Structure 1
Amino acid sequence: MSNFQDFLMESFDEVEVIERTLKIGGKDRPMKFKPISAARGDELRKKCRKVSVVKGQKMIETDQDKYIANLIIETTVYPDFKSAELQKSWGVIGAEELLKAMKIKMVDGEYSVLTNLVSEVNGYDLSMQELIEEAKN
């Protein structure tokens, strides 16, 4: 049990880019995704937090819609939501504004599929039973 070889840095795999074709704006479009690190996920959650004080109690809320939008932006390799050229073609400035503009042209189910795929790419797709089985191995 004292063998820590499995936890040496070189034993960790690099994440791979995942290619999928999604129906976005009524057309099948090739897209590429890459999972973000847990550290980057923490940064995104902190960015999407709102702290308020209610009756002397510190309340921390996470804006889930903003978090999901940022997760999509950070996970999506292609198209690059941070591309100035792409933003210009949509008449917006900023990756979040680009995603908002694209959502206007999407059917709600298309955005839902994109959200689910990004969650899956980042490892949020595992059920409790799958997590238990994975932990056993």
Structure 2
Amino acid sequence: MNLQEFLNANPIDDVTEDVVISPRFKDENGSPLKFTIKAMTEEEFEDIRKRSTQVGKKKVEFDSRKFNLHVAINNTINPDFKNADSIKKLGVSSPEEYVKRVLLAGELATLVQKITELSGFDVEMSELVEEAKN
């Protein structure tokens, strides 16, 4: 199989992965509960980046907290952070408030890291060089 055939057989519209983000999430048997995440497309990344950036008269401000929340909310399949019943059950009014209520700061950071890695970010150049050699 050449690269063109590989690309044709592997479009990016359904790249998902089950990941463990914290030892806190365990079922009744002590087994880890996994989050199902999906990769961001270039368009999704740009949309979230733009929504997290404010352009003022003299400076541009990037809100990394807002960026991380939107990455997690929009790219986590399970659990569904947009689930209206869950939002209502916890007495919050938005997916952003829900995430802040159910995830610790480090858990959110880990979740976002896993999503960005699945999306092709944070791949070390040395890993790519090593893989290319093989």
TM range (shorter): 0.7 to 0.9
Matched, 1:36 2:40: yes
Aligned to 1:65: 65
CA RMSD of aligned residues (A): 2.7
Match of residue 13, structure 1, among 11, 14, 23:
11
Shift of 1:16: 2.7
Shift of 1:62: 1.6
Q: What secondary structure, in the 3-state scheme, does the structure 2 residue paired with 1:23 have?
A: coil
In 1, the alpha carbon distance for the partners of 2:49 and 2:17 equals 23
Shift of 1:131: 4.5
Q: What secondary structure, in the 3-state scheme, does the structure 2 residue paired with 1:61 have?
A: strand
Q: What secondary structure, in the 3-state scheme, does the structure 1 residue paired with 2:34 have?
A: strand
Residues 51-87 of structure 1: per-residue CA shift (max 9 Å, x gap): 1112xxxx32221111111111111000111110111
Shift of 1:30: 2.3
Percent identity, aligned pairs only, is: 27
Amino acid in structure 2 at the alignment position of 1:114:
L
* Count of residue correspondences: 124
TM-score relative to the length of structure 1: 0.74
Q: Which runs of 5+ in 2 are unaligned?
A: 27-32
Q: Which runs of 5+ in 1 are unaligned?
A: none
